[in-house]
Every structure is written in C-alpha cells, then in structure tokens.
C-alpha cells in the first residue's frame, strides 16, 4: 500500500469556466506552489445544479484547453461534461478517488465558494474524499474568511486550508458582459482564449 508521504497530490479546480480567466489560473498555480501539488485538473462542469443556460460545454472545454496548454502541471478533465445528468461534486470526487487510489485529492475553490460550501449537495461526502483549499479574493473579507475556515474546520476537522493568492477581481460574468458590450477583455484572459471568443463570436447575446 502507498503510504501518505508517497501519495501523489492532485488539485481539482471545478467550475463552469464560462469562460476560463486568470482568476482561475491564478488559484490553481498558487495551490500548486503552496501545497506542493503535482498535478492540477480543471473540471468544467457539465450541468451545474446552480447555473442555467451555460455556454455549450465544447466551447468551455476548448477554452480551458487553450488556457492551460503551456503548463505541464495542468490537465483538462472532461468527466463532468461527458457524464449525463447534473454534475455533483461529491460524485465527481468519489469517482476520482476510485480511479486514483494512490492520490491525495485537494479541491481548490475561491473564497466566495467557501461560504456556499455547506449548501452543496452532501458536503460531508465531498470531504471523505478530499481536502479543500480555499483562496481568498478580497482584502476586506479576510477576517470573515478565516472565521469561516475555523468554523468549517470545527465541524469537519482538518479539512479546510487557506490559499494565499494575488487578488484578481475578475469573473466570468464580467468578461461575458464586457464582450457583449464590445469592451476589452485583454489581460483578463489568456490571449488564446480572447482570440477563441472572437473567432467563435461567443457572448454576443445579453448574459
């Protein structure tokens, strides 16, 4: 049996990636560096329970693929977009653990998602299979953020870890709005993603 010290440490960044942007890439890179992760998997969600009318999965996957192409630690994992039905995180991590029994899994998320975590389906089941690395996004929320980490660790001991990351106030929603109104998205997304959005005329409709 592989002991804990020899387990491969794998990070998972789940999201709609509609589109992927530098905020996503930055939390992945910060997690890799701070927690010595050996691989980061980007998992675009297929049918997220909380977001309707999402851009078709093939475009979202293609943009992730372009954005991570130059980073050998980053991998696109299509399991959620290829599965039928709603993508629940607890099923995804259960599935990943079965497939990768010699890995230690870390689910990476933004600080805002940490506050929603307990409303996700079966949070305790998620934590059976992975730990959570939570990035904090805004200076002023740091105190509340650490209180939330403490509160969750009280309930689920040793499962939540803070992720120190440069704060990038970028969101997919903001990018969609900018494209729709003809504003620049340069330096918010990798150049290849920007070109892809333009070439495929994405986000022209009102978000």
In the complex, the residues that contact ligand ATP under the rule CB under 6 A are 15-18, 23-24, 27, 109-110, 112-113, 135, 137, 168, 170-173
Nearer to ligand ATP, 137 or 159 (CB): 137
b/e string for 43-59 if b means 16 or more Cβ within 10 A? Answer: bbbbbbeeeeebbebeb
Where are the strands (E) in 3-159, listed by range? 8-15, 39-44, 74-76, 103-110, 130-135
Beta-carbon count within 10 A of 164 CB: 10
Nearer to ligand ATP, 101 or 140 (CB): 140
Q: How far is CA 129 from CA 58, 104, 135, in A?
A: 28, 8, 20
Helix (H, G, I), strand (E, B) or coil at 78: coil
We find the least distance from the C-beta atom of residue 44 to ligand ATP, in angstroms, to be 8
**Per DSSP, what are the bridge partners of residue 10?**
39, 105
Nearer to ligand ATP, 91 or 170 (CB): 170
We find the least distance from the C-beta atom of residue 109 to ligand ATP, in angstroms, to be 3
The helix (H) or strand (E) run that includes residue 58 is: helix 57-68
We find the least distance from the C-beta atom of residue 17 to ligand ATP, in angstroms, to be 5
Measured CA to CA, the distance from residue 160 to residue 151 in angstroms comes to 10
**Per DSSP, what are the bridge partners of residue 145?**
none
Nearer to ligand ATP, 2 or 204 (CB): 204
We find the least distance from the C-beta atom of residue 18 to ligand ATP, in angstroms, to be 5
158: left (phi over 0), alpha (psi -120 to 50) or beta: left
Nearer to ligand ATP, 109 or 185 (CB): 109
Nearer to ligand ATP, 91 or 135 (CB): 135
We find the least distance from the C-beta atom of residue 81 to ligand ATP, in angstroms, to be 13
The helix (H) or strand (E) run that includes residue 76 is: strand 74-76
We find the least distance from the C-beta atom of residue 199 to ligand ATP, in angstroms, to be 21
Work out the angle at residue 174's Cα, subtended by the Cα atoms of residues 168 and 138, and round it to the nearest 5 degrees. 30
């Amino acid at each position: 049996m592989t002991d804990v010290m020899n387990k491969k440490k794998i990070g998972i960044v789940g999201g709609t990636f509609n589109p992927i942007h530098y905020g996503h890439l930055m939390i992945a890179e910060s997690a890799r560096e701070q927690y010595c992760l050996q691989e980061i998997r980007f998992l675009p969600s297929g049918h997220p329970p909380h977001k309707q009318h999402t851009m078709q999965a093939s475009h979202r996957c293609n943009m992730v693929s372009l954005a991570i192409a130059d980073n050998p630690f980053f991998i696109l994992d299509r399991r959620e977009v290829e599965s039928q039905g709603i993508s629940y995180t607890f099923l995804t991590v259960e599935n990943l653990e079965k497939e990768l029994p010699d890995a230690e899994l870390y689910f990476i998320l933004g600080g805002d998602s940490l506050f929603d975590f307990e409303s996700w389906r079966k949070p305790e089941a998620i934590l059976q299979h992975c730990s959570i690395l939570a990035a904090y996004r805004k200076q002023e929320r740091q105190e509340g953020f650490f209180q939330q980490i403490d509160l969750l660790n009280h309930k689920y001991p040793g499962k939540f870890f803070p992720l120190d990351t440069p704060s990038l106030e970028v969101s997919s929603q903001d990018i969609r709005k900018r494209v729709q109104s003809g504003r620049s998205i340069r330096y918010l997304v990798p150049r290849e993603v920007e070109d892809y959005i333009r070439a495929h005329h994405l986000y022209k409709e009102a978000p």
